[in-house]
Structure 1
């Protein structure tokens, strides 16, 4: 057991680090999709027009318009607390322009949001547009920065882990170099000479995939479900899916096979 751990832990550790990064990326992608939908649903543009307009009228100016909600003039007057008699109030209400709240089909970039506003401003029937750009831009830039920082960290962690895997492969290759040379003299193919490395790498790949899956399964079902934080409980289903086991297994096998190939080819050229 000690010999097994000593032989394999140096590969399992960096491989688990890479797979943790991959799974965190998958989880982050799932949760950000949900967050983007919530941001999209919580955002709307205010439009004031001279005439009544339908969703088709708005879509003719920009295809990103997904939903149009007409704001009732009577409710606007209530918010303004108009102290007028009924006749004057109705007359004033009739003179008011039409107010609309527009929902978009996605969480657009700031530039795309500007384009939507510019397209709508081309309509002669539209008097005013309020896009609440400053609030939208601050949320978008914060969201983009967090996303970029997280992805950059995962990429660097994966690169470092991959180089550690290659170094461990080189150690294994050195330990089995004499046997591989003898097999080469007897005409063994590159695959047969590397079979021991491949088998050891595959074993570690499978172990690493299941270790990573177990970690996220424990996070999902032990820590998060027992947590008092509602925001975590709301997204608990995005933390781990059993289909992730297959993704992690395939990814770990691909990584170790690339590492084995690079080490063996390098030795052959030398």
Structure 2
């Protein structure tokens, strides 16, 4: 990762069907996992977590990681389509590729956590299985953020709360993603660019229950450069593509 941008008040038209086929880029990446869990169980009866992670949460090639609230998924997809159609830049929206976490968790829970005699899941075993699946996903997120050049954070009312007392978020995933961007090593692109500048963070993805548990986390996004629709329009006017387009964005936001 090189740098991050805090996108405020971004309005992108409904381009969910990209003219250049952004979604088709990930069709091959989506793992057709519909087989039994037995595939991942070793001779000793132990689940191979690394193999599951490789199959269910594969790494993909992308230029930009879009950090967003689950409720802003369509906005993230629209932005990804716009970036691809306008600049030929590939943005990664995790829910479009890694939408398997709950399905994987249910497969594990049905096999290892179900108490048939009481017709319920075992609470302790469920805690254990959830921690394993979420750790697999978190590890995959770390790798993706590290490999992309930029992180775009969608700063909306769904992702950032309590601005009057400092930015907060109820999403542990957004909190985690942003903290990742604060701690991973920043790398300048090998190609020449104007000059380096400050970088930073992001994350999100938790599911709500009927009676949602709310835990707030500090959201320190001061290391992200703030951009808005005017910035995007100015960027689009450069009429560039690929890494040259990213370099133009860096120049505009210096």
Note whether the superposition's TM-score is higher than 0.5. Answer: no
TM-score by length of 2: 0.31
Q: Which has the larger radius of gyration?
A: 1
